[in-house]
Amino acid sequence: MKEIIRAAVAVIVVSALLLYINSQLGKTSGSTGSDTITVYNWGEYLDPELLDQFTEETGIRVVYETFDSNEAMMTKVQQGGTSYDVAMPSEYMIENMKEEDLLIPLDHSKIPNLKNIDPYFLDLPFDPDNEYSVPYFWGTVGIAFNPDLLEEDFDFTSWEDLWRPELREQIILVDSAREVMGMGLNSLGYSLNSTDESELDAASAKLDELTPNVKAIIGDEIVEMMRRNEAAIALTWSGQALDMMYINESIDFAVPEEGSNLWFDNMIIPKTAANVDGAHQFINFMLDAEVAAQNADWVGYSTPNAAGLELMDPEVTGDERFYPDEEIRERLEVYRNLGPEMTGEYNERFLRFKMGMN
């Protein structure tokens, strides 16, 4: 009995001690207070040196956390355990968060560097007048391919090429319902935001015909697979394609002509923010021409910052595959928030497609 009491006391003492240490740590890395901000971003999506530079310039310390999906980010913001001051969700998620009242409007007078952004990327349908968001990076969805591993010459200017029988077991798809369903819809000439049942049925049927050519449906492992020549073709985002090319120079990237997805990740201030002023300073800092150029260099995705673009290597910014001109961009579509029912329907169709693979 005595031993048990002793053990119990020991457990309580240790727990109390840990609690105390934790609260102390919380104080020092404090996500509250006026001299720190908490930034919530995708992984590998910001040059860490810039965080130090920001602290040097403003005296505000940055606590940096990462997420791996828009939905996971929104759930964390909704639960409100951590006071995130700045986050970088994609455009359809901003519509969603706006509906859920999770965003704080931006004070444009505190973000003078907004003038650096190419007007093409401002005032977009998902956020008129940039009331809540400022563009951070943008890109496309397309086909990364390795001509060395293909017997014939393909240029993938059409989605239709993917259906060619010679490509049996060659294609890796990204494990994401919107991208795969979007490909099916685009290949038939429909909008990738379609909510029309007959169009969706046609896209599902079209995708089922693709199954013999599909090697796998995976996530970020795609990059490694393509780098190591494990697969010849991948449906992926432009930035991921660039990641592949850094290591494996044979890889090329194409955005099919029937149309595809144009996406934007944007900086927002969520309702959880404890340091709204610091968050504005951070957003303004990231929009500085030199900072944006350095960040784009490090991250590899396309920057919407026109002033920053001029400071970058023209060989990169002149690359039509990653900085397509306006004529090509006209053919691309931005995802709209489809609402919970349609999102569910897209995912159920995608699940059915995956089940049909075996």
Which of 210, 215, 253, 279 touches another protein by CB under 8 A?
A: 215
Min dist CB 279 to another protein, Å, is: 25
Query: Contacting another protein (CB under 8 A), which of 29, 32, 157, 229?
Result: 229
Nearer to another protein, 321 or 354 (CB): 354
Contact call for residue 1 and another protein (CB under 8 A): yes
Distances (CA, A) of 218 to 51, 184, 205, 215, 236: 32, 18, 21, 10, 10
Residue count of the chain: 358
x/- contact string, 31-70, with another protein (CB under 8 A)? --------------------------------------x-
- The minimum distance between CB 92 and another protein, in angstroms, equals 12
For residues 135 and 117, the answer to whether their CB atoms sit within 8 Å is yes
Cα angle value 287/292/293 (rounded, 5°): 150
Distances (CA, A) of 276 to 84, 85, 160, 191: 10, 7, 48, 38
Least distance (Å) from another protein to the CB of residue 240?
17
Scanning residues 149 to 178, which ones bind another protein (CB under 8 A)? 169, 172, 175-177
Binding positions for another protein, 270-309, rule CB under 8 A:
none
Q: Which two tokens stand for residue 180?
A: 């795969």
Phi, psi of 3 (to 5 degrees): -60, -40
How many chain residues bind another protein (CB under 8 A)?
34
From the CB of 312, what's the least distance to another protein, in Å? 34
> Which among 254, 248, 249, 250 is positioned nearest to 235, based on CA atoms?
254
Q: How far apart are CA 351 and CA 116, in angstroms?
A: 42
The smaller minimum CB distance to another protein, of residues 124 and 232, is found at 232
Residue 357 touches another protein, criterion: CB under 8 A: yes
Chosen residue from 10, 13, 19, 72 binding another protein by CB under 8 A = 72
Cβ partners under 8 Å of residue 254, min gap 6: 142, 143, 145, 155, 156, 157, 321
Helix (H) or strand (E) holding 86: strand 86-87
From the CB of 175, what's the least distance to another protein, in Å?
A: 6
Please give the residue ranges that form the binding site for another protein (CB under 8 A): 1, 4, 69, 71-72, 74-75, 169, 172, 175-177, 215-219, 221, 224, 228-230, 340-341, 343-344, 347-348, 351-352, 354-355, 357-358
